[in-house]
Structure formats: structure tokens, C-alpha cells
A and B are shown apart, each in its own frame.
Chain A
């Protein structure tokens, strides 16, 4: 949907957004921009403000202060109807009208969005609900509801997708299927905002991560940028000839951080800028080194780093 020349424009822009419910501050000075085609992953503990942030961007609530622009307009005013034509939303643990069948529910939402009933049929097929489409939603399992939720979010070819914890309740196979669908949409240029706890699943897809903690954005960047900011040590596993490990350790010298030594392997850790010199050093040791594995910090380690107090 997004035109090529619009690619650089901000599709979402939040400036100094605060949100209070009574005396409780749910969001504090939130600033970020999203460009067309990005896949933003929102991470944070429960109650960090992810859902509130989505509701603000959807215009369901208004900020206490600050400004929000979604698709070049304020989402909270009643004239934002036109913008809502091009966005899809899958709420956290989605609820439908229980007495209606899956097909009826989807047809109702399609009517509201001006989408055709043929599209409903295709979407039901796409999410694998075709056989269950004439059953009442009340009889659906959690996974089926979630799939119906995804189908309704995709109605009318949205430009912008908000997915709140989209894979909770889905089995591993369905999760994979789900991410394939998201990848497909992403290729078509759809912008998506996904909130998730399943870091390993979203790692490969996210163009950018926004990490939230108690209503604050503590990190906002690509995976590389986050690694860099967190400056977590890179681990190395060196396999050597049996019995040679302690000798190798000695030859590496005292500058190298050695975490663990056993008979035929050593665990080392170093920072990013020390990595290449260390690799050259190790390869200079000769035949005694059999193998070298480099283990970059995992996303959950980066996440824990930002969630611990240090980054503030």
C-alpha cells in the first residue's frame, strides 16, 4: 500500500507523551517515530505500558499531555475514521461476540471496513479456520480465537498493524505459520507494531526494538544498536587438544578474561572491540586449537540488561 516516495515519512510519531490514570503515571515522556515498512517490537514487563501505548496510537484513549500522530493525523478525534480504514488491530486476548459464528463475526467487521465477503473467505482459509467458520465463536479454542483475531486485523489490506501479544495461546506450529503471514505482509510494505514476550521468536523479524520499563522507554534501536548500547561481553568457546587447556590459558596471558577451563576447552569473554585481536591471538596459537565458537549475547540478555536498573 505504501508508496515508494512515502517510504521515508513517519507513519507514527509520538512526542513527549504522558499518560496518567488518576495519580498513576502509566507512560512517562514517550518519544519515538515509526517509518513506513518498519516492524517494531515492543518489549517490556507486564504493566510496562505497552498496551496503553497501543491504545493511544489507536485513539482509544487520549494522552494526558504530548502529541500523537498516526498516519498523519490525531488518532483520538472522531474524524480519524479515514485513518482507521488502513489499520488493523489484534488486541491482547481478543474477545468476539460469542453467539456469532466465525464467518458472521468476520463478515460484520468486513462490512465496517468496507471489505468484501470474498476477502473474508480467503482470510478464513489463510488462517486455517475454514472448517470451523460455521461454528459459534463461543466454542472456539484460544488458538482459534487468536487466528480469527489475526484474520480480522488483516481485513481491508491495512497499511499499519498493531498486534498485542499475538502468539500467546498458539502452539509452535501455528506460531511459525503466524510469523510466515507477518513476513508476507512485511514484504508487501505493511508497517507493524508487535508487542511480545517471546523474544527469540521476534528477534529475526524486528527492524527495531523498543524496550519499556515502568512507563519509560529505556531503549530504542536495532538489534545491533542495542548490543552496542548494552556493551555486553561476547563469549568464546575454544576447543583444544585434550590436556592442553591450561597451557593454552597460560599462553593467552592475563589480559584475557577466562571464565572457565576444563580438560579440553576454555570459555572466554571479551568486549566487541577486543574480539578481533583475540581471535587473531587464538588462531596464532597453532595446531593446538581445534575449534573456536563465538557466542554473541542473546537478546534476552540484552533485555535483562535494560530491565535492570543500570541503564537508567
Chain B
């Protein structure tokens, strides 16, 4: 565990040194504040709090932003060290290869944790100071931050898989962008496109729910939208989710599976890698 912690701290210090963490905090914080001020407008007529609206807005935005940040953080993690040559020396030290992967993973998840909890959390604090609102809705906001972190972890793990598979950093960057497009944009586009064209209703509700569930980004979306009874009806997508009996723990479980599978695959490939 000590080794993992040493390696994680190195990644964390790298993140602080190159202002990565600072940039991510500012980006997430400013967006959260902007969305919360936008979200504050319609509260009068709808029976939801400003925070709830903000959670939904932020979740819709995070689904694009968090995977991108996580992939940018992780695509270089292994291929970069192979290409520069630092991995060679590192692996002659008394660390096992799984400690190297888990150490980096812990470090990168910590970076995301700081970025999300300081960025989004700071925005929440500023928001409540200005609006003078109570603590209602904070739980949902906290759940949104936590699930954002899990979503980030999914894409850190996927980034590592890319990083261990390709031979060059440039290829890794390209592949990471491709992954982002597939998971965040194309998958839903194709799914909904198929649903629109499906006049004879081949895609039943069960199949559709399953197809939604297996996507980590959709799981994240549904997880956050289905926290609110009223909203989930209005938001459409999540209505299906709750009808199909997708519990929060099931959705979170799917996301955690998306964390562990790429991580295990990365580890197996890395173990076999010769330097």
C-alpha cells in the first residue's frame, strides 16, 4: 500500500505542478456557478429548488466534460513513460507492475476528486452564501459530485487501456478522443436513431433499457436524473429508467464495473509487456 501511495502522490504533485488541478477546478467551478445562476431563474413556478435544477444541469454537462478531463489525464500515463523511457528505470525499483497501475490510478482519481469537489463544491458554497438557501438538495448535489467522480474513474481506466495498447503517444491521444466520441456522443445518437427508425418496435423497452444501462455515460445520466421524482418525468429518459426498475445501486454498479474491467485488462497487458 505504501508503494501505491508514493506513486499516487507523485501523480498528484505532477497535477499540482503543471497547474492541471488548478485549471480543472476553475473550469468546473465557473461552469457550476454559471449553471446555478441560470438554473435559479425558473424556480418560482416549478416546485423544485434551485439546487435541484443545478444538479440536473451540471449532470448533463458533466457527462461531456468529466470524461474529457479524465481521458486527457490518463491517455499519456503509460505510453508516455514507455516512450520517454522513464518506465524502464521505474520497473527496476521494488514496485510490482500492479502497484504502478494502481498508484497512478489512485493519483489520477485524487486529482479528479479535488477538481470536482473543490470546483463543484466551491460553487455550491458560493451559491448558498449568495442565495442564503438552506441545506435542502445538498444530498443530491453530493451524489452528483460522487457519481461524477466515478464517471471520471471510468474514463481514467479506459484511458489507461488505450495507453497500454498503443505504441505512440499521438496514437493514444487520437484514440482517446475517439473513445470520448463513441461513449459520450455516438452511442446515444445511434441508440436514439435506431429507436426513431424502429417502426415495428423490434427494440422493446427491456432491450432499450439494457442498452442504456450498459453505457457508463447513460448510467451516470440516469443515476442523477432519477434522484428526483418530479424531474425524472419531465426529463423523459429517466422516466424509463425508473419504470424499468433501475435502482441507483445497479446504475452505480454498472459504472464500477466499467472502472474495474478496463483496469484489469490494462494490468494484464502491462504484466506481459516487455521493455
Contact = CB atoms under 8 A, between A and B. Distances in A.
Contacts of A152: 89
Nearest to A88: B92
B159 to A, nearest CB: 19
A70 to B, nearest CB: 11
B47 interface: no
A81 interface: yes
B95 interface: yes
Contacts of B89: 89, 91, 94-96, 109, 152
Interface in B11-40: 13-14, 17-18
A113 B94 contact: yes
A45 to B, nearest CB: 22
B interface SS class = helix
Given A108-B10, A113-B93, A91 B3 contact: no
Contacts of A108: 6, 10
Nearest to B95: A112
B243 interface: no
A175 interface: no
Given A61-B275, A95-B85, A87 B95 contact: no
B94 A82 contact: yes
Contacts of B3: 112
Number of chain B interface residues as a range: 20 to 34
B189 interface: no
A291 interface: no
A30 interface: no
Contacts, number: 62
B131 interface: no
A97 B84 CA distance: 9
Nearest to A56: B274
B43 interface: no
Contacts of B10: 108
Contact of A60 (B86, B91, B95): B91
Contacts of B92: 58-60, 84, 87, 89
Contacts of B96: 78, 81
A111 interface: yes
B18 A99 contact: yes
A95 B90 CA distance: 11
Interface in B246-275: 271, 274-275
Interface of B: 3, 6-7, 10, 13-14, 17-18, 84-86, 88-98, 271, 274-275
Given A91-B88, A108-B10, 13 more contacts: A61-B274, A78-B96, A81-B95, A81-B96, A84-B93, A89-B89, A89-B92, A91-B85, A91-B89, A95-B89, A97-B86, A111-B6, A152-B89
What 8 A-B pairs are tightest by C-beta distance, nearest first? A95-B85, A61-B274, A60-B275, A89-B92, A112-B93, A84-B94, A81-B94, A111-B6
9 contacts: A60-B88, A78-B98, A91-B88, A96-B89, A99-B14, A112-B93, A112-B94, A112-B95, A114-B94
